[in-house]
Structure 1
């Protein structure tokens, strides 16, 4: 039975698309048929991260009625299937987001997991991915403005009948942050299901157009993303390399720093 997750954030620049790509890649590596769909049709970046920015058919063409969804599915790392949106504004203008439900009906019969990269913020195009997912996961950065914007997205999700599974705190550091995990859970009313640290290898892997979990599998960010994917897939996470153990120590220090109680 397929489970659909929409990865959402209240503002741009939180790392939402990067998390969507990497979570989907790890889920596929577990042998689960996994699709990633770029529903951020106006500011599409998912295809760029995977080197699919120049493919002939994208979700834009599908939602414009010019091609079937089968022609817009491409294979990515670990066998993950990718449905990218185009990068042209004209393609965006011709796309009808209302047809997204029909596209999903075709895809869900083919996969175990569907990861939807939603548009940031609150917009008409962003409502559908929030409403049609089984679970919505909010991506939050360690700053007050990000938490406030995420709360707006959560409220909107619940108003339209969606459900927020939890939040991922992304780009966390050992330095003092404006908000703690405890505060995020208190304000959003959901659990923080993962804490992904700031990691320079995220940028490096993006330059190679390769997910960090593939290019730098032992990096601290990769380790935490693997843990989150394991929770989603219902499997036990196991550190498979000696180098990952040092990464675990870093994450322990990070957790102590950010899971502190507010004074």
Structure 2
């Protein structure tokens, strides 16, 4: 059975695209035929993140009726399939997001998991990925403003008939923040399914246009992303397979710090 997940956030800059790419990469690594589609057609970033910004055919051309979806599929790390949107404003203007559902019908015949990287905020183009996915995962940063924006996205998702799987707290730090796991679950009314620490290795990997789970697999962020992907994939990944090394103490302190603020 194919499962479609939309990765969404209420505002830009939460790390949504980076998370989409890394989760998709690990799901492919865990044996799932995984596709990542960039539905943020106005501010397309997946192609840039993976070094696919100059490919000849993107989702823009497909939605404009100028190419087939098979022409816009590219292979990424660990065999993950990537469908980028273009960076051309002309291509964006020509693309018709109403055709996205038809494109998905073709894609789901080829994969186990489809990840949609949704546009940030509330817009006409952003509603479609929220409505057509099986489940929506909200990406939240440790700030009140991020949580409020995520709440708006959750409400919109439910209004259009979508379902929220849970929230991921991204860029969590050891310092005192404006937000806690308890606060997220209380305000959003959803479970926090993962905590990813603020990790400079994510930015370092981005400079190489490579997912952090590939470039720095032992880093704190990579280890936590692997855990989330394993949970989604339904695979039993032993601690030693997560390459959990000296970062373990940092992660334990981070988790302990966040849990304490729940009480």
Give the TM-score taking structure 1 as reference length.
Answer: 0.98
Q: 1:111-190 to 2 correspondence within 5 Å?
A: 111-190=111-190
Unaligned runs of 5+ in 1: none
Q: 1:22-41 to 2 correspondence within 5 Å?
A: 22-41=22-41
The change in CA–CA distance for 1:27 and 1:243 in structure 2 (over 3 A counts) is closer
The count of corresponding residues between Structure 1 and Structure 2 is 263
Alignment check: 8 A CA contact 2:59 2:83 kept: yes
Alignment check: 8 A CA contact 1:218 1:241 kept: no
SS in 2 for 1:120: coil
SS in 2 for 1:259: helix
Deviations along 1:193-244, one digit per CA (max 9) or x if unpaired, are 0000000010110010000000000000000000000110011232336961
Could you tell me which residue of structure 1 aligns to residue 5 of structure 2? Answer: 5
Give the TM-score taking structure 2 as reference length.
Answer: 0.98
CA distance in 1, matches of 2:100, 2:29: 26
Deviations along 1:19-54, one digit per CA (max 9) or x if unpaired, are 000000000001111000000000000011110000
Q: CA deviation at 1:258?
A: 1.6
Could you tell me which residue of structure 1 aligns to residue 61 of structure 2? Answer: 61
CA distance in 1, matches of 2:208, 2:240: 24
Deviations along 1:99-138, one digit per CA (max 9) or x if unpaired, are 0000000000000000100000010000010001011000
CA distance in 2, matches of 1:242, 1:138: 24
Tell me the C-alpha RMSD between the 2 structures.
Answer: 1.2
Could you tell me which residue of structure 2 aligns to residue 231 of structure 1? Answer: 231
CA distance in 2, matches of 1:43, 1:59: 13
CA distance in 1, matches of 2:76, 2:246: 29
CA distance in 1, matches of 2:78, 2:18: 16
Moved over 6 A (4+): none
Could you tell me which residue of structure 1 aligns to residue 253 of structure 2? Answer: 253
Unaligned runs of 5+ in 2: none
